[in-house]
């Protein structure tokens, strides 16, 4: 009892539902983190709608009676609102259901029909206020239903719920077991309550209490934070699994391509070696042109060795770029000098192939630039190398120009053109990919890994530049790299340095008859190569096959230069060097020690120099580089 008003028993279920729905609302209230999830947002709408519908329904069945003194207009408004909120609740429920089931949005038409039905229903309910044909109160205060009451008030909710259930059944397969059970139970319970209420003409109020049971089921099975977290984790796991599968596939592809690329030159090397062994079998006669044949085999071995080296360098570059270890090291350099070097190298190859090589550079480009000279050289050589590889006759041309010049910077444009086989238009977007070798039937005789352009593209990217290609199949190609460079304003200083370097480069013809060298390496072949190379300088060469042997020798003899390998069993090169420094009997405390190693990862030079090595030479050793290094480190009076 509240004043004149008595709470009618038929609303008891509604009051109970209101109680637990409020608790549910409070539990889910602070969980704002999930407000972005669509189904959860719809769920919250459903909760609020159901709460409002329950409150209005309880108020209606308690107060909307004129005989209890409530004014007739208020009674009418309450009755109307009660009906509207009930219909809205079933509509929101259906929308929630659709969000779960209709992930591909194919049921938009059904949603649109739902909206139209709701609009028509609203219009009829509003028209009912003046026209009194659905529900109304007589002036005497009697509550009346027209014949249209049940069809109008219950058609919409029954339509929403049944269409939701039908869709649910047809899409059952796309749902997980938990969703299937929760959504089915919630829908059937809600529909059941609505049908009972409709069947009894509103005498038994079960639509909202049963709807609340549905909401309760939905919350604790699908909408709790734990379950959402579980779904999120599952999704993340699925993505991680796919990534892992992709990465694994990429690794397998990479290994397959690499093993093919490495095997090809290795086969040639082993094959040629086999021939040499056969020809030089003990007791076998040398025969005519023996030396030429052996030389021929040796040349083939050299070519294959170079291919192998370039494959390994490419892999190393690519791995460095991929692991983010390739650093761009800006240095001051002379563009003229760079172009001269590259030009000299390329024109020899072009001549051998009977091609014309043209090199043009805008004379207004400042000569002294700051940028990663090594990488720019690599880009030029790569593009020119391709141009030479894929051109049978005609001209290969490199044109250097600039754009966007300011006082301190410019964009260096490297354009490499050829009159070669060209690239098919459909292949153009692919050529910068890893291991992309195109037009294989035409190019099968051309050596290559399909890594060159991929590396060029990535290197240009690392230097904040870009590269374009245009080509006409059968006529030729044009690659243009745009690379921002700084202008070195301290030009004079730099010019001196460059001049010095140029002078050094030209001076590798010399002898060191009075020098004594020590070469330390655990590999016999490497010792042989190093002693042969050093042998060209005259002087004496001693070798040591381990760090300990080297330490012993250093105690016995004072050398002019020591070459040290890094990776050696027992005592590696760095440890040997450190131990030699602490050895009081060491006669070589002031002898320059050169690290000569196959470790060619970027940044290692600096690491070795920091440790105290006088210089660093990477294996396979280049004769000229070795000779230049030796000359630089020996005292001038030892050089003849």
For residue 271, give the 3-state DSSP assignment: helix
402 φ, ψ to 5°? -130, 160
Regarding 576 and contact with ligand ADP (CB under 6 A), the answer is no
The only residue of 76, 80, 449, 485 in contact with ligand ADP, by rule CB under 6 A = 449
Give the shortest CB-265-to-ligand ADP separation in angstroms.
13
Q: Which of 66, 265, 448, 547 binds ligand ADP (CB under 6 A)?
A: 448
Using CB under 6 A as the binding rule, whether residue 308 contacts ligand ADP is answered as no
Q: Which of 369/453 has CB closer to ligand ADP? A: 453
CA distances 82 to 53, 70, 89, 124, 198, Å, are: 6, 16, 11, 15, 14
Q: Which strand (E) or helix (H) includes residue 564?
A: strand 561-564
3-state DSSP call for residue 70? coil
Using CB under 6 A, which of 51, 308, 453, 562 touches ligand ADP? 453
Among 193, 214, 450, 547, binds ligand ADP (CB under 6 A): 450
Long-range pairs, 459-465, Cβ under 8 A, ≥24:
459/317, 459/321, 459/326, 459/375, 459/378, 459/379, 460/379, 462/321, 462/326, 462/328, 462/375, 463/328, 463/371, 463/372, 463/375, 463/376, 465/411
Taking the C-alpha atoms of residue 490 and residue 366, their distance in angstroms, rounded to an integer, is 12
Q: Of 625, 627, 621, whose CA–CA distance to 596 is shortest?
A: 621
Residue 573 within binding range of ligand ADP, rule CB under 6 A: no
Task: Say how far apart CA 389 and CA 384 lie, in whole Å.
Answer: 8
Instruction: Give the interface segment with ligand ADP, choosing from 216-224, 297-305, 444-452, 481-489 (CB under 6 A).
Output: 444-452
**Residue pair 81/53 in contact by the 8 Å Cβ criterion:** no
Nearer to ligand ADP, 457 or 638 (CB): 457
Binding of ligand ADP at residue 190 (CB under 6 A)? no
Q: Identify residues 344-403 at the interface with ligand ADP (CB under 6 A).
A: 386-387, 390
Least distance (Å) between residue 112 CB and ligand ADP: 53
Q: How far is the CB of 320 from ligand ADP (least distance, A)?
A: 17
Report the distance separating Cα 405 and Cα 252, nearest Å: 45
Residue given tokens 């060469």 in the structure block? 541
H-only helix segments in 143-224? 149-170, 177-199, 207-218
Query: Is 454 a residue that touches ligand ADP (CB under 6 A)?
Result: yes
Taking residues 414 to 443 in sequence order and writing x for each that binds ligand ADP by CB under 6 A, - otherwise, the string is: ----x-xxxx-------x----xxxx---x
Q: What would the x/- binding string for ligand ADP be over residues 585 to 614, using CB under 6 A?
A: ------------------------------
Distance in Å, CB of 299 to ligand ADP, minimum: 22
**Residue 384 beta carbon to ligand ADP: minimum distance, rounded to whole angstroms:** 9
| Of 202, 452, 573, 592, the one binding ligand ADP by CB under 6 A | 452
* Site for ligand ADP contains 49 (CB under 6 A): no
Distance CA 337, CA 353 (A): 25
Q: Is residue 518 involved in binding ligand ADP (CB under 6 A)?
A: no
Q: How many residues touch ligand ADP (CB under 6 A)?
A: 22
Token digits of residue 602: 């970027």
CB 458, min distance to ligand ADP, A: 11
List the alpha helices (DSSP H) in 353-404. 373-389
Specify the residue, 395 or 540, whose C-beta has the smaller distance to ligand ADP: 395
Please compute Rg for the chain using Cα positions. Answer: 43
Those residues whose C-beta lies under 8 Å from the C-beta of residue 44, and which sit 6 or more positions away, are 28, 35
107 binds ligand ADP (CB under 6 A): no
In the complex, the smallest distance separating the C-beta of residue 317 from ligand ADP, rounded to whole angstroms, is 12
Task: Using CB positions, name the residue nearest to ligand ADP.
Answer: 448
Residues that bind ligand ADP (CB under 6 A): 386-387, 390, 418, 420-423, 431, 436-439, 443, 448-454, 477
């Amino acid at each position: 009892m509240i004043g004149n008003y008595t709470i009618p028993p038929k609303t008891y279920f509604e009051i109970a539902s209101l109680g637990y729905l409020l608790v549910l609302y409070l539990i889910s209230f602070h969980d704002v983190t999930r407000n972005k999830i669509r189904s959860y947002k719809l769920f919250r709408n459903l909760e609020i709608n159901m709460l409002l519908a329950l409150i209005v329904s309880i108020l209606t069945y308690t107060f909307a009676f004129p005989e209890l003194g409530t004014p007739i207009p208020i009674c009418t408004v309450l009755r109307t609102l009660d009906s509207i909120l009930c219909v809205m609740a079933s509509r929101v429920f259906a929308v929630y259901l659709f969000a779960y089931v209709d992930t591909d949005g194919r049921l938009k038409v059904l949603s649109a029909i739902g909206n139209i039905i709701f609009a028509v229903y609203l219009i009829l309910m509003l028209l009912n206020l003046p026209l009194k044909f659905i529900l109304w109160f007589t002036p005497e205060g009697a509550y009346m239903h027209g014949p249209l009451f049940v069809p109008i008030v219950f058609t919409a909710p029954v339509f929403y719920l049944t269409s939701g259930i039908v869709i649910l059944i047809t899409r059952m397969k796309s749902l997980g077991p938990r969703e299937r059970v929760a959504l089915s139970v919630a829908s059937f319970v809600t529909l059941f309550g609505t049908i009972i209420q409709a069947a009894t003409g509103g005498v038994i109020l079960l639509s909202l209490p049963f709807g609340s049971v549905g909401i309760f089921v939905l919350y604790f099975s699908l909408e709790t934070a734990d379950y959402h977290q579980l779904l999120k984790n599952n999704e993340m796991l699925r993505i991680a699994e796919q990534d892992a599968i992709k990465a694994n596939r990429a690794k397998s592809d990479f290994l397959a391509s690499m093993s093919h690329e490495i095997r090809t030159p290795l086969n040639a090397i082993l094959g040629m070696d086999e021939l040499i062994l056969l020809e030089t079998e003990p007791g076998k006669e040398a025969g005519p042109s023996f030396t030429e044949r052996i030389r021929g085999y040796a040349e083939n071995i050299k070519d294959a060795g170079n291919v192998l080296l370039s494959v390994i360098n490419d892999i190393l570059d690519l791995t460095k770029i991929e692991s983010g270890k390739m650093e761009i090291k800006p240095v001051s350099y002379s563009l003229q000098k760079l172009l001269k070097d590259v030009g000299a190298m390329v024109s020899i190859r072009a001549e051998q192939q009977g091609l014309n090589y043209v090199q043009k550079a805008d004379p207004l480009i400042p000569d002294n630039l700051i940028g990663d000279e090594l990488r720019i050289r690599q880009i030029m050589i790569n593009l020119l190398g391709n141009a030479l590889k894929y051109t049978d006759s005609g001209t290969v041309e490199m044109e250097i120009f600039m754009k966007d010049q300011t006082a301190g910077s410019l964009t260096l444009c490297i354009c490499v053109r050829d009159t070669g086989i060209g690239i098919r238009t459909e292949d153009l977007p692919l050529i910068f990919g890893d291991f992309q070798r195109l037009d294989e039937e035409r190019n099968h005789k051309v050596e290559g890994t399909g890594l060159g352009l991929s590396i060029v593209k990535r290197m240009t990217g690392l230097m904040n530049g870009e590269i374009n290609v245009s080509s006409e199949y059968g006529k030729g190609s044009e690659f243009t790299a745009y690379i921002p460079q700084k202008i070195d304003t301290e030009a004079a200083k730099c010019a001196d340095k460059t001049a010095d370097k140029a002078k050094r480069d030209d001076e590798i013809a010399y002898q060191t008859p009075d020098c004594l060298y020590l070469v330390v390496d655990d590999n016999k072949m490497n010792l042989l190569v190093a002693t042969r190379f050093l042998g060209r300088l005259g002087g004496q060469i001693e070798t040591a096959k381990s760090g300990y042997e080297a330490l012993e020798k250093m105690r016995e003899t004072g050398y002019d230069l020591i070459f040290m390998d890094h990776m050696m069993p027992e005592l590696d090169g760095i440890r040997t060097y450190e131990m030699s420094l602490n050895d009081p009997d060491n006669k070589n405390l002031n002898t320059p020690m050169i690290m000569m190693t196959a470790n060619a990862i970027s940044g290692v030079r600096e690491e070795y120099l920091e440790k105290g090595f006088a210089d660093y030479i990477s294996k396979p050793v280049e004769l000229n580089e070795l000779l230049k290094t030796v000359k630089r480190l020996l005292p001038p009076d030892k050089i003849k």
